Amino acid sequence: MSTQKVRKAVIPAAGLGTRFLPATKAIPKEMLPIVDVPTVQYIIEEAVASGIEEILIITNSNKHCMENHFDKDYELEARLSESGKTAQVKLINDIANLANIYYVRQKEPKGLGHAVLCAKSFIGNEPFAVLLGDDVVINKGGQPALQQLINAYDKHHASVVGVQTVAEDQVSKYGIVAPNRNVPADGRAVKLDNMVEKPKQEEAPSRMAVLGRYVLTPEIFDLLESQGAGAGGEIQLTDAICRLIDTQAVYAYDFEGIRYDVGDKFGFIKATIDFALERPDLRDQVADYLKEIAEKMK
């Protein structure tokens, strides 16, 4: 098994964002801001903080503004500089210099597995990370979620999927892992026997749900190329990982951190409130307003 460093990441961002219509008719869901920072920027910042050097974003033909956001904007910089707004100049420069970011279009909406397959030539024969834009994870004072998975990969030299335990009545919303009962857990890492996509509550093999973070070996690409359509008539990454388990070890890692499902409206609202409460410039105003609302609802 390869012991190469995980230095590349793939961020699938070609979805239509139908759950956030009408906003996503013109704005990619990944560009919807949590306070004033697009969700995809939080994902990229996590990748960079985890040691990722190169990032490929899988897009579609309607997501030019995402590319613009992470590019240089000389005209804006000049106008801000002329107005003496040096802090804002630094802010937009820092965004442009976050990482080496590349883009490729998924020409047809064939599912997450197909989107990852679009990265094959970019990744080559290296292990790589996948970060889904619907899951923002904050581990204040600790390692980023992706860094935790990379550490597990470095230890076990095998693919790792990021998981957290969900409520029993929530298992049908996620891919659920089936731990290998014959292999003892290694701290937060467990070797897998299988993965099941959105099982019925009574059929779920565990309550450990796959939550948008992966470190995968390059062998996954051969499996994705031959993977037939699965749930929803799409090529599912989960199905290919299940086949990977048949040929090499795959682990689940119960990562630490608070995970926000920003692809869900209520999850997005929770993230906005929590992030605002962490901001010194907004904390007091938001806290006072929440108290005011709570009083009115009594």
Low-confidence spans in the chain with pLDDT less than 50:
1
Q: Residue type at 56?
A: L
CB neighbourhood size of 184 (10 A): 8
Beta-sheet pairing, 208-216 with 159-165: antiparallel
Between the CA of residue 265 and those of 62, 209, 221, 261, what are the distances in Å? Answer: 22, 20, 33, 8
Superfamily in which the 8-263 domain is placed by CATH = Spore Coat Polysaccharide Biosynthesis Protein SpsA; Chain A (3.90.550.10)
Q: Which residue has 């590319």 as its token pair?
A: 67
Asked if residue 160 lies in contact with residue 251, where contact means CB atoms within 8 angstroms, the answer is yes
Backbone phi, then psi, for 141, in 5-degree steps? 80, 0
**Can you tell me which residue has the tokens 């869901």?**
29
Here the tokens at position 82 are 């002329």
* CB-CB contact of 77 with 89 (8 Å): yes
Residues 283, 223: Cα–Cα separation, whole Å: 48
CA–CA dist 113, 19 (Å, integer): 20
- Comparing C-alpha atoms, which of 116, 130, 124, 91 is closest to residue 240? 116
Task: State the pLDDT at residue 35.
Answer: 94
For residue 132, report the phi and psi dihedrals to the nearest 5 degrees.
Answer: -90, 135
CA–CA dist 273, 46 (Å, integer): 20
pLDDT at 14: 82
- Is 216 in a helix, a strand, or coil? strand
Q: Interhelix angle for 86-96 vs 74-82, to 10°?
A: 160
Task: Round to whole Å and give the CA distance between 274 and 34.
Answer: 10
Question: Tell me, what amino acid is at 4?
Answer: Q
A 10 A CB-CB count for 132 gives 22
Distance CA 32, CA 245 (A): 36
Residue 216, pLDDT score: 96
Question: Sign of torsion, CA 36 39 42 48?
Answer: negative
Residue (of 210, 245, 244, 212) closest to 226 by Cα position: 244
Prior bond of 199 cis (ω within 30°): no
**SS3 label, residue 270:** helix
- Output the pLDDT for position 231: 67
Residue spans of the domains in the chain: they are: 8-263, 266-298
Q: Which of 92, 88, 48 is nearest to 72 (CA)?
A: 92
State the pTM of this model: 0.90
Instruction: Give the pLDDT confidence of 103-152 residue by residue, as tens digits.
Output: 998 887 788 889 999 999 999 999 999 999 889 999 998 999 999 999 99
